[in-house]
Chains A and B, each alone.
Chain A
């Protein structure tokens, strides 16, 4: 798998609506700017939602292709981030429904460590595995709420756009997700 694309200064400065306008005008390559801008966050979100990097890559790739094909239906390109999260979130939900028995859940995945890893790296990997396990024990709704709020740093308004849920519902989910995550972390070995 390739590394995330690094955007040039000029690409970083152009606004989402301007990039969308370029793509819709036929500049297909400009879509790469949007990928460079959002794919890391989307991959992180999908990986944490699905607990599987491979399934996450599929969900994000499918979501981005879908976003490109339906770009004209994005009514407010200044809110492109929420729109992309919504599309990828829907792909994640589909993956969760269809998840086959052949998928390797995170807790069963082999550790990605070797002898060259430093002690700090090993500790970091163990901490990540512990928190990931705790997160995966949450329901998909709570997991999504915690990730969007605390990992992607969205406001409740942005979360409402990204999920289609009401703000009071999302606040309640975030509150419950925090308590459930603390419980799960306490129970972890």
Chain B
């Protein structure tokens, strides 16, 4: 592979002026800048019409699931929780797991097409554990797990719509960890596997 002198990287990162480079280094710099300029041409197209047609048909989600959960957690409730079998296995194996809880009985004011999902992961020594997923648009900070008894097992509960969701754990804000016991996975296209979970509709 072509060796690029660290000075060239520093110029490209805006840390040094181009004048600091030798002629050979400047050649590399200019080749890369030329490529970037070529790629900067904007495609003469628009999806605005298509997007706005869809937007006008669909209201923004009325309130975030996290907000609704926080509101619910601020009140007193009697909740019956049923874990899926992987929960016991997860703890026994000292690995991460997820429990899916049917949305029946007392709990948050759930719609018919929603369910409660509890995420559980064992991360001894972690300073923070988030869950990011298709339901947070892969943004950290929306689903924060807690280890209140400091035993290394982190837990968090959210309400999710019925259907299939992808997720990953984010440990200490930087380490993305696939749930090893999710059972089903999908390639994220970048060499990692997203775990899959399914929230089923209530049966009458």
Contact = CB atoms under 8 A, between A and B. Distances in A.
Contact of B190 (A5, A70, A93, A131): A93
B136 A73 contact: yes
B204 interface: no
A81 interface: no
Nearest to B186: A97
Given A43-B47, A75-B142, A178-B12, A28 B39 contact: no
Contacts of A147: 39
Nearest to B173: A166
Interface in A7-41: 23-24, 28-29, 31-32, 35-36, 39-41
Interface residues of A, number: 70
Given A127-B38, A164-B176, A71 B46 contact: no
A7 to B, nearest CB: 11
B135 to A, nearest CB: 9
Given A35-B48, A185-B35, A68 B188 contact: no
Nearest to B136: A73
A48 B42 CA distance: 10
B52 A131 contact: no
A24 to B, nearest CB: 6
B175 to A, nearest CB: 9
A131 B31 CA distance: 10
Interface string B36-54: 1011111111111111101
Contact of B4 (A44, A97, A178): A178
Contact of A53 (B12, B45, B138): B45
B111 to A, nearest CB: 16
Nearest to B189: A93
B46 A5 contact: yes
Contacts of A36: 48
A66 B138 CA distance: 12
A111 interface: no
B152 interface: no
B24 interface: no
B126 interface: no
A135 interface: yes
Given A23-B60, A164-B132, A185-B35, A65 B139 contact: no
19 contacts: A2-B49, A4-B44, A35-B51, A57-B47, A61-B54, A65-B58, A68-B51, A68-B60, A73-B66, A73-B137, A83-B139, A87-B137, A90-B137, A141-B190, A164-B132, A164-B176, A175-B4, A179-B3, A185-B31
Interface of A: 1-5, 23-24, 28-29, 31-32, 35-36, 39-41, 43-44, 47-48, 53, 56-57, 60-61, 64-75, 83, 86-87, 90, 92-94, 96-97, 127-128, 131-132, 134-135, 140-141, 146-147, 150-151, 164, 166, 171, 175, 178-183, 185-186
Interface of B: 1-4, 8-9, 12-13, 28, 31-33, 35-36, 38-52, 54-56, 58, 60-64, 66-67, 132, 136-142, 170, 174, 176, 186-191
